[in-house]
Amino acid sequence: MDIWQHTIVNNLDKFWAGLVVTVQICLIAFSVALSLGLIAALINIYFRPLRIPAKLYIQFCRNTPIYVQLMWVNYVWPDIFGWPNSFFAAGWMALGLQSSGYLAETFRAGIEGVNHGHIEAAYSLGLSPAKTLRRIIMPQALLTMSPSIMNQFLVLVKSSTLVSVIAVPDLMYQALRLTSVWFEPIEILSFTAFLYILIVFVLSHAMKRFSDRLRERYN
């Protein structure tokens, strides 16, 4: 009980600080992934001259290990682009890059899976391609894409533990730091694992309920 007291209870503020950083980096990374993934998917579908670069981008993001991307963004990008200028920015950018490749394929499959008769009907009513995409295609595609999108967010949350290797003070970083101070890995890392299990469980349940309500409302 004394070990639990001085390793966990007395350091709850550090666990909380790490959890806040984890939430921030995951939300920013997923926003970036959604934006880049959608852009890559639209280019792949509708802009034939840029289709090959878009496919190369998608394949690079999907087939490169997240650890390699993290090192690449953190150590190579500053010399080439002058950015990112912080470990935190490098962390969310690398996470966003990899997830964008998977989301691009999810978006492509969802958009191409929409009934072409609905699209033709929208054109016959005088809707522009942009309005057809926004009002007809995307709402229908989201119904089929939502489980995959939500699953990718969970993958991103679990992958976020790797940002600790570049000194981003997330939950995993705080756990490793406390372990090096107290030399009590069983208690500290077990508690950290419990927190990640709890996070993923809560997110999975919330996303499932959201997906079910979305289908009930629009189906």
Dump pLDDT digits (tens) for 17-67. Answer: 999 999 999 999 999 999 999 999 999 999 989 999 999 999 999 999 999
Q: Identify the CATH class of 2-218.
A: mainly alpha
CA distance 140 to 38: 15
pLDDT band at 218 (very low <50, low <70, confident <90, very high): low
- Position 219 pLDDT exceeds 70: no
- Position 79 pLDDT exceeds 90: yes
Instruction: Match 């894409």 to its residue by tokens.
Output: 145
Delimit the domains of the chain by residue range: 2-218
Tell me the per-residue pLDDT of 156-187, one tens digit each, with 9 for 90 and over.
999 999 999 999 999 999 999 999 988 889 99
Indicate the average pLDDT of the chain: 92
- Position 207 pLDDT exceeds 90: no
pLDDT at 1: 60
pTM for this one? 0.92
Of 38-42, 74-78, 211-215, the poorest mean pLDDT is in: 211-215
Q: Judge if the upstream peptide bond of residue 84 is cis by omega within 30 degrees of 0.
A: yes
pLDDT band at 106 (very low <50, low <70, confident <90, very high): very high
Average pLDDT over residues 70-81: 95
Cβ density class 84-112: b for 16+ within 10 Å, e for less = beebbbbbbbbbbbbbbbbbbbbbbebbe
SS (H, E, C) the chain: CHHHHHHCHHHHHHHHHHHHHHHHHHHHHHHHHHHHHHHHHHHHHHCHHHHHHHHHHHHHHHHCCHHHHHHHHHHCHHHHHCCCCCHHHHHHHHHHHHHHHHHHHHHHHHHHCCCHHHHHHHHHCCCCHHHHHHHHHHHHHHHHHHHHHHHHHHHHHHHHHHHHHHCCCCHHHHHHHHHHHHCCHHHHHHHHHHHHHHHHHHHHHHHHHHHHHHHHHHC
Tell me the per-residue pLDDT of 113-128, one tens digit each, with 9 for 90 and over.
888 888 888 888 888 8
Question: Among residues 75, 67, 77, which one has the least CA distance to residue 98?
Answer: 67
